[in-house]
Amino acid sequence: MIKYSGILLILLFTSGSFSQSVYAPLNSDYYNLIDRIDVKDNSGTVFSSVKPYLRIDIAMLATAVSKDTLIHLSRVDKRNLDYLREDNWEWCRGKDSVKSRKPLLGGLYRKNNAFFAIDNKDFLLQINPVAYFSYGKDMPQSGQTTTTYINTRGFELRGLIDNKIGFYTFLTDNQAAFPEYVNTRINSSGVIPGVSSGVIPGENFWQRFKTNGYDFYTANGYIDFKITKHISTQFGQDKNFMGDGYRSLMLSDFSSNYLFWKVDTKIGRLEYVNLFAQMTADPSSNSGGTLGDVFYPRKYMALHYLNLKVSGKFTLGLFESETFGNTDSLHNRGFDPTYLNPVIFYNAVENGLGAPDKDHIGINWKWNFLHHFSLYGTILLDEFNISELRAGTGWWGNKQAGQLGLKYIDVLGIPNLDIQLEGNAVPPYTYETYSFSKVTNYSYFANYSNYGQPLADPNGANFYEGIGILRYQPFYRFSFTGKLIYTIIGLDPPPGDAPLNYGSNVMLPNTTHVNEYGNYITQGVKTTIMYGSFTASCQLAHNMFIDLTAIIRQENSAGKNQTFNQPVSNTYYNSSENIFSVSFRWNIAQRLQEF
């Protein structure tokens, strides 16, 4: 993909005098504040299903709230608007709420809540420290209580040049010890049964730290600029999220950072996104199951997303993606330039190339109504055969996933009390692809994953999932969040039993499916996972938080292979944990491991 980046340089020097901005990092708590405004105001200012948002769009939303809406906003709502304006101060100059607060610790945050800032006509630079210190206890039902911790230090840098070019860098050094269920995920995430690929959810390369800890860097950065008044482009290393749900069936931020080029066109009520990415195929495939100093095989993704605001209340989106990689034993296929076409149906391109690449298409929609509700959903098609569907025989190749969710803002008239309910259903073998004789393990290159991690829901496939989230912010500085995630998933038998593919692991080739017919969601080793959490947060200063968190997680297996009614070992499938932690965060989102 790098050889095509010269296009970006040409565009860079031909861009006109259009104001540009950087993006606000993905953060579910932060973005929830924006979603609340979008539901209550119905202004249609942001395209909520494409994240992250440009800071200039957030500032516009926070300053353009109608007078009718302002009358019905609570005191906390109005202070949250001030917070959003303060956090995006470069686009809110002159607003009364954007002003220097009292100096912190005798001198920090002297200007516009920035630790260090340069702000003049031609150049803007803001540098903030990043810190995350957490200490906790993991108390599994069977086993010894262990200590969990996070030790993160780094910095965040953002800026503008000539009001045309934006740039952003985030870099942290991390040491962490995770709860038992996270360690189990890391140790079982490889394609090779019984061999770990060593993948920390959301991260990539790591080294062992002390006895049970991990040492790793988190780094992302990009440049972005306006090509025309309505077209902006971004090039760098980061994550993206598409959809209006808490989970995404199209593209989530669960996997590690990846290199991408995004072109975002916004004209009135229309948004059209082109995303071209270079990712990493399964890292264990070249290293015998352990991470090391090897060049991991590359894979690629091309994605289109068309977003239309039918009205200020109703939005409809059309999605398609293509994942592909090496198609011969020499591994000499790079990013296929045919997929760079910004306006074409990818399935037609794939067929024309004669390539065994993997495509997905989908529909996403959202309806805001009564200034308190938002109903949203997604339908994703992996493969579809109408005659097999009508026959109702459970053919393995019919894979249609769905999401349905509801947000209720200010429940029963209680200010700043919100509920979100969401259901997801993903059939077995969704996101998997097949291998063929010319390339060993071609499924690594075309399946819907990055660095051995799903690009959509963390559960992969073959599951039902119900999510309930309760958020309450009684005062500006204090917020409380409770989450309950209940999952029923059909897993493959653990190492030591018969190696069978029931469709939950997106990394496996779908050519190894167990049954041609009679497939159903949760087939295999039926496992229920209950994840409950409660977090109390206090914002001490701008983007500086103290969190108290309690997590209860239980995982229980049916104890047998449902299809063949054979017993399986329960080593990996039965657990119960209680986790308690206290955290200090500064300019960084909570590290969520909700699976």
Q: Is the pLDDT of residue 442 over 80?
A: no
**At residue 298, does pLDDT exceed 70?**
yes
- Vertex 472: Cα angle to 469 and 474 (nearest 5): 180
* Whether pLDDT at 289 is above 50: no
Sequence length of the chain is: 595
**What pLDDT does residue 495 have?**
62
Amino acid occupying residue 412: L
In 325-372, DSSP assigns E strands to 358-369
CA dihedral 530, 372, 370, 420 (to 10 degrees): -10
Q: What is the pLDDT of residue 348?
A: 57
**Is the predicted pLDDT of residue 241 greater than 60, yes or no?**
yes
Residue 460 has pLDDT above 90, yes or no: yes
CA separation for the pair 13, 126 (Å, rounded): 24
Cα–Cα distance measured from residue 583 to residue 72, given in angstroms and rounded to the nearest whole number: 34
pLDDT of residue 118 exceeding 50, the answer is yes
Is the confidence at residue 37, as pLDDT, over 70?
Answer: yes
Round to the nearest angstrom and report the end-to-end CA distance of the chain: 32
Q: Which residue has the higher pLDDT, 95 or 455?
A: 455
- Helices 28-41 and 55-63 pack at an angle, to 10 degrees, of 40
Query: 7 falls in which pLDDT band (50, 70, 90)?
Result: very low
Task: Provide the β-strand partners of residue 216.
Answer: 174
Report which of 511, 356, 520, 342 is spatially closest to residue 426, judged by C-alpha positions.
Answer: 520
CA distance 370 to 313: 10
Percent helix, strand, coil in the chain (nearest 5)? Answer: 15, 45, 40
pLDDT of residue 115: 86
pLDDT in tens, 137-162: 999 887 789 999 999 999 999 999 98
Closest CA relative to residue 202, chosen from 168, 238, 230: 238
Asked if 127 and 114 count as a contact pair (C-beta separation under 8 A), the reply is: yes
Q: Is pLDDT above 60 for 98?
A: no
Rounded CA-CA distance 408/398 in Å is 34
Both tokens assigned to 100: 């220097």
Q: Which pLDDT value is given to residue 357?
A: 77
Higher confidence at residue 355 or residue 204? Answer: 204
Where do the domains of the chain lie, and which CATH numbers do they carry? 2-586 (2.40.160.130)
Euclidean distance between CA atoms 434 and 356, whole angstroms: 8
Q: Tell me: the pLDDT tens digits for 571-585? A: 556 889 999 999 999
Query: How far is Cα 24 from Cα 176, in angstroms, rounded to an integer?
Result: 25
